[in-house]
Amino acid sequence: MQTRLGDVPGAERQALAPEAAWHTLSAGWEVLRAEEADPRYGLSPAGRRPSRAHRFGSNKLAAARAEPRWRAFIRQYSDPMQIVLLVAGLLSLFPLRQLGTGLLLILLTLANAVLGRAAGGRGESAVAALQRRLIVTARVRRDGQEAEIPAEQLVPRRCRFH
C-alpha cells in the first residue's frame, strides 16, 4: 500500500519529502524551519540571495498586450443592438430599397462603434495611469528589522506581515 504525502503528519512528511512544497506544511513554524527563516530576524541572507528573484521573476502582473484598434472597433459589433441596427440598415437598402433609412441606420452603427471605441480607449488610458501611480508595498523582516519594500521585490516563500 502506497502512502500519499498529504496523509502523513508534519514531521513524518518532512522525513519522506524533505523538499516538500511550503503550502503542504502544517504549521507556520515548519514553514519557517524549512525555509531557514527565524521569525525574529526574517530570512537569512542566503535565503534572500538573488537566485530566487532570477528563478521566479518579478512579483508583478504581466502587462497585457494592447488590442489593435481595428479589433476593438469590430468588437463593438458584438453588441446585439449594433447587430440589429446593422441588419435593419442592410435590409432597408437591398430588399426594400429605402436608401435614406438604410444609410442612416448604417451610419448610426458606425458612429456608435467609433464612440464606443473612443470610450474604451479612455478607460484603458485611465487604468494605465492608475497602475503607474499605484505602488504596492509589503512589510517584511530583514535581519531582525521590519522593512517596507515594493511588492515587486517579494519572492515565493518570503515571510511577510499583515
Taking only the tens place, the pLDDT of each residue in 56-84 is: 777 777 777 888 999 999 999 999 999 99
Between these two residues, 152 and 41, which has the higher pLDDT value? 152
Is the model's pLDDT at 23 over the cut of 50?
yes
Q: Is the pLDDT of residue 9 over 80?
A: no
- State the pLDDT confidence band at 137, using cuts at 50, 70 and 90: confident
Calculate the dihedral angle through the C-alpha atoms of 26, 29, 30, 33, rounding to the nearest 10 degrees. 170
pLDDT of residue 89: 96
Give 87-130 pLDDT, tens digit per residue.
999 999 999 999 999 999 999 999 999 999 999 989 988 988 88
β-strand 145-150 against 137-142: which pairing, if any? antiparallel
Predicted confidence at residue 107, as pLDDT, reads 97
User: Looking at per-residue confidence, does 158 or 29 come out higher?
Assistant: 29
Q: What radius of gyration do the chain's Cα atoms show?
A: 29
In this prediction, residue 159 carries a pLDDT of 58
CA atoms of 95 and 88, how far apart (whole Å): 11
Region of 139 please: left (phi>0), alpha (psi -120 to 50) or beta.
Answer: beta
Quote the Cα angle for 76-81-128, to 5°.
Answer: 30
Residue pair 106/89 in contact (Cβ under 8 Å)? The answer is yes
pLDDT band at 16 (very low <50, low <70, confident <90, very high): very low
